[in-house]
């Protein structure tokens, strides 16, 4: 392959030529570009099972519509910076393109650019240096959530003024995100921000991405059980993962020592177990699962109902969460004592408990920020209500925003070869 591409008069000179060739031969793509408008190659890559880490700039030249087209894809993790970000880096496993091209029609096809292709054995060390730079930028960036994307789209669509004003309006909407540089102040991050960023990455880039990948494979392969068709895709995926846990994960060691797998390997595993799942006469769904789900949705699924719920109803709803019930091992005396311990540790303050749960499920803004609050904010934190309790509850009410994740689900995802935090 030639070394330099510039979108010149030679018909083999398009930057898109090496981009698509390297993409086809790679399993993992690491793409960084301040301007993003071109989705064709990204969508083609994920349709072929490639995993993509996409770092973009939120600015006037990035298209909210293009971001919406690729958002929520199980194989794409998206982060953003808003300022001081000018690098264009495209890494394809052990090869890379480095130069002036953005992920736009102009950058890949029509603008005169200067891009070098590094795909030879002697380029390996250079590619690794480029990968280190990408990962440094990636670590500085913020996770693109649905709320941030909506805010960016609103700011982007309402402004028709000079660049500086546009960028300030965008940063007012989504928050400022910049890479570290020689200014030492840019390296400082508060403890709260570190916790929040870690939480965003674990939930969106590990749990949600992995869970959605399983859902997509089950859906494409039609690995579905008729008796569960009415509970929704997210809940059926949860039941599939429960089936897998009960039938094939016989010990802690089974998931702890499971190898990390490529997207292709994971697909084969999920399809293999999916076939078993739909043919087995025992779906391993607990006899009380549907009644539990109904109780959770009935008590917590409507803000008005939640506000008038009694302490007994809140207790019944919480005890219907598998993640909440798992805490029995920390309490002597079983289920009865778990409930009483919950209320005792939360000062028997029914109104406070309802206010916190209502804020978490139905509050405005970023769901992860609310999750952070109920886990770390002393004024909103609930005793005996940890991360997986919160994720299971939220997923039962709003599965489109975040699927129901429990510790059991996380361990099963790890068993399938996903790189997820499992405890």
The residue extents of the domains of the chain are 4-188, 189-423
At 221, the pLDDT band (50, 70, 90 cuts) reads very high
In the prediction, which pLDDT does 190 show? Answer: 58
φ, ψ dihedrals at 260, nearest 5°: -70, 135
Model confidence at 335: pLDDT above 80: no
Cβ neighbours for 23, distance < 8 A, ≥ 6 positions apart: 29, 41, 44, 45, 50, 92
Overall average pLDDT of the 313-331 stretch? 87
Q: Could you identify the residue written with the tokens 């994971």?
A: 266
Token output for 21: 């060739």
CA-CA-CA-CA torsion sign (14, 20, 23, 29):
positive
Question: Among 9-13, 247-251, 279-283, 387-391, which is the least confidently predicted range?
Answer: 9-13
At 182, the pLDDT band (50, 70, 90 cuts) reads very low
Overall average pLDDT of the 384-402 stretch? 93
Model confidence at 272: pLDDT above 50: yes
Q: Kindly report, residue by residue over 276-314, the tens digit of the pLDDT.
A: 999 999 999 999 999 999 999 999 999 999 999 999 999
CA-CA-CA-CA torsion sign (286, 291, 292, 294):
positive
HEC secondary structure over the chain: CCCEECCCCCCCCCCHHHHHHHHHCCCEEEEEECCECCCHHHHHHHHCCCEEEEEEECCCCCCHHHHHHHCCCCCEEEEEECCCCCCCEEEECCEEEEECCCECHHHHHHCCCCEEEECCHHHHHHHHHHHHHHHHHHHHCEECCHHHHHHHHHHHHHCCCCHHHHHHHHHHHHCCCCCCCCCHHHHCCCHHHHHHHHHHHHHHHHHHHHHHHHHHHHHHCCCCCHHHHHHCHHHHHHHHHHHHHHHHCCCHHHHHCCCCCCHHHHHHHHHHHHHHHHHCCCCCCCCCHHHHHHHHHHHHCCHHHHHHCCHHHHHHHHHCCHHHHHHHHHCCCCHHHHHHHHHHHCCCCHHHHHHHHHHHHHCCCCHHHHHHHHHHCCCCCCCCCCHHHHHHHHHHHCCCCCCCCCHHHHHHHHHCCCCCCCC
Nearest Cα to Cα of residue 20 among 53, 65, 50, 63: 50
CB–CB of 104/35 below 8 Å? yes
- Adjacent-strand bridge partners of 56: 33, 80
CA distance 277 to 243: 7
CA distance 242 to 392: 14
In the prediction, which pLDDT does 179 show? Answer: 74
High-pLDDT (> 90) share of the chain, %: 59
CB burial readout 190-217, b (16+ within 10 A) else e: eeeeeebbebbbbbbbbbbbbbbbbbbb
At 394, the pLDDT band (50, 70, 90 cuts) reads very high
Q: Kindly report, residue by residue over 152-176, the tens digit of the pLDDT.
A: 998 887 655 555 566 777 777 777 7
In the prediction, which pLDDT does 217 show? Answer: 94
Token output for 273: 């177990």
In the prediction, which pLDDT does 202 show? Answer: 87
Model confidence at 115: pLDDT above 90: yes
CA distances to 20, 41, 210, 247 from 326, rounded to whole Å, are: 48, 44, 23, 19
Q: Which CATH class for the 4-188 domain?
A: alpha beta
Cβ neighbours for 145, distance < 8 A, ≥ 6 positions apart: 200, 204, 366, 367, 368
CB atoms within 10 A of CB 81: 24
At 250, the pLDDT band (50, 70, 90 cuts) reads confident
Q: What's the pTM?
A: 0.70
Q: Kindly report, residue by residue over 350-391, the tens digit of the pLDDT.
A: 999 999 999 999 998 778 889 988 988 888 999 889 899 999
Q: How far is C-alpha 271 from the chain's CA centre?
A: 22
Token output for 23: 């993409």
- Average pLDDT taken over every residue of the chain: 88
HEC secondary structure over 125-185: HHHHHHHHHHHHHHHHCEECCHHHHHHHHHHHHHCCCCHHHHHHHHHHHHCCCCCCCCCHH
Overall average pLDDT of the 40-53 stretch? 89
Model confidence at 184: pLDDT above 50: no
Q: Kindly report, residue by residue over 60-91, the tens digit of the pLDDT.
A: 999 999 999 999 887 899 999 998 899 999 99
In the prediction, which pLDDT does 366 show? Answer: 79
In the prediction, which pLDDT does 334 show? Answer: 67
């Amino acid at each position: 392959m030639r070394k330099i591409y510039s979108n010149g008069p030679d018909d083999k000179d398009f930057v898109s030529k090496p981009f698509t060739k390297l993409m086809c031969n790679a399993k993992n793509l690491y793409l960084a570009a301040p301007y993003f408008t071109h989705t064709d190659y990204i969508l083609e890559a994920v349709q072929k099972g490639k995993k993509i880490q996409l770092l973009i700039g939120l600015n006037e030249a990035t298209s909210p519509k293009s971001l919406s087209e690729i958002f929520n894809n199980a194989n794409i993790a998206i982060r953003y910076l808003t300022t001081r970000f000018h690098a264009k880096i495209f890494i394809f496993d052990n090869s890379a393109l480095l130069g002036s091209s953005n992920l736009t029609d102009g950058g890949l096809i029509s603008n005169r650019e200067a891009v070098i292709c590094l795909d030879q054995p002697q380029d390996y060390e250079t590619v690794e240096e480029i990968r280190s730079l990408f990962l440094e930028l990636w670590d500085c960036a913020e996770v693109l959530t649905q709320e941030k994307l909506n805010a960016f789209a609103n700011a982007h669509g309402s402004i028709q003024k000079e660049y500086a004003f546009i960028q300030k309006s965008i940063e007012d909407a989504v928050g400022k995100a910049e890479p570290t540089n020689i200014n030492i102040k840019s390296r400082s991050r508060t403890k709260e921000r570190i916790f929040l960023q870690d939480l965003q990455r674990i939930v969106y880039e590990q749990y949600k991405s992995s869970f959605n990948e399983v859902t997509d494979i089950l859906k494409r392969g039609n690995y579905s059980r008729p008796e569960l068709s009415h509970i929704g895709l997210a809940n059926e995926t949860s039941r599939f993962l429960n089936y897998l846990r009960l039938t094939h994960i016989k010990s802690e060691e089974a998931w702890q020592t499971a190898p990390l797998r490529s997207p292709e390997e994971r697909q084969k595993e999920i399809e293999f177990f999916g076939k078993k799942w739909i043919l087995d006469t025992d779906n391993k769904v607990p006899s009380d699962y549907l009644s539990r789900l109904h109780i959770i949705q009935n008590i917590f699924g409507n803000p008005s109902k939640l506000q008038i719920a009694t302490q007994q109803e809140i207790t019944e709803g919480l005890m219907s969460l598998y993640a909440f019930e798992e805490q029995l091992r920390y309490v002597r005396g079983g289920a009865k004592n778990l409930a009483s311990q919950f209320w005792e540790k939360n000062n028997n303050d029914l109104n406070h408990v309802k206010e916190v749960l209502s804020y978490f499920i139905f509050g405005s803004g970023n769901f992860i920020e609310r999750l952070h609050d109920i886990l770390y904010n002393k004024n909103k934190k609930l005793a005996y209500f940890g991360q997986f309790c919160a994720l299971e509850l939220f997923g039962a009410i709003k599965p489109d925003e975040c699927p129901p994740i429990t510790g059991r689900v996380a361990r099963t995802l790890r068993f399938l070869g996903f790189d997820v935090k499992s405890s």
